[in-house]
A = this chain, B = another copy of it.
Amino acid sequence: MQDYSLLYKKELLENIIPFWSNHSIDKEHGGFFTCLDRAGQVYDTDKFMWLQGRQIWTYSMLYNNVERNPAFLDVARHGADFILKNGRDTDGNFYFSLNREGKPLVQPYNIFSDCFAAMGLGALYKADGKDEYGQVAKDTFENILRRRDNPKGKYSKGFPGTRDLKNFALPMILCNLSLELEHLLDKQLVDNLIEEVLHEVLDVFYDDATGMIVENVYLDGSFSDSHEGRLLNPGHVIEAMWFIMDLGVRRNDRSLIEKAVTIALRTLKFGWDEKHGGILYFKDIKGHPVQQLEWDQKLWWVHVEALVCMAKAYQLTGNEDCKEWFDILHNYTWSHYRDDQYGEWFGYLNRQGEVLLNLKGGKWKGCFHIPRALYQLYKTLEVQKALTADPLS
| Per-position 1/0 for A143-169, Cβ under 8 A of B | 000000000001101110111000000
A373 contacts chain B at the CB level, 8 A cutoff:
no
Given A44-B226, A96-B157: A105 in contact with B296 (beta carbons within 8 A): no
Contact in complex: A227, B162 (CB < 8 Å)? no
Alpha-carbon separation in the docked complex, A227 to B161 (Å)? 36
Contact in complex: A356, B157 (CB < 8 Å)? no
Alpha-carbon separation in the docked complex, A288 to B107 (Å)? 25
> When the two chains form the complex, which single residue of B107, B295, B348 contacts A159, counting CB atoms closer than 8 Å?
B107
Residues of B within 8 A of A105 (CB): 158-159, 162-163
A218 CB to closest chain B CB (Å) equals: 13
CB nearest to A357 among chain B residues: B289
A126 contacts chain B at the CB level, 8 A cutoff:
no
From residue 194 to 232 of chain A, which have CB atoms closer than 8 A to chain B? 226-227
Query: How many chain-A residues does the 8 Å CB contact rule pick out?
Result: 43
Alpha-carbon separation in the docked complex, A322 to B162 (Å)? 50
CB nearest to A162 among chain B residues: B103
Alpha-carbon separation in the docked complex, A43 to B99 (Å)? 42
7 A-B pairs with least C-beta separation = A293-B294, A104-B159, A289-B359, A43-B288, A289-B357, A103-B162, A109-B157
Given A37-B289, A158-B107: A99 in contact with B359 (beta carbons within 8 A): no
CB nearest to A348 among chain B residues: B293
Residues of B within 8 A of A352 (CB): 352
From residue 330 to 383 of chain A, which have CB atoms closer than 8 A to chain B? 348, 350-352, 356-359, 362-363
Residues of B within 8 A of A158 (CB): 105-107
Contact in complex: B159, A106 (CB < 8 Å)? yes
A267 contacts chain B at the CB level, 8 A cutoff:
no
Contact in complex: B95, A159 (CB < 8 Å)? yes
Alpha-carbon separation in the docked complex, A293 to B292 (Å)? 10
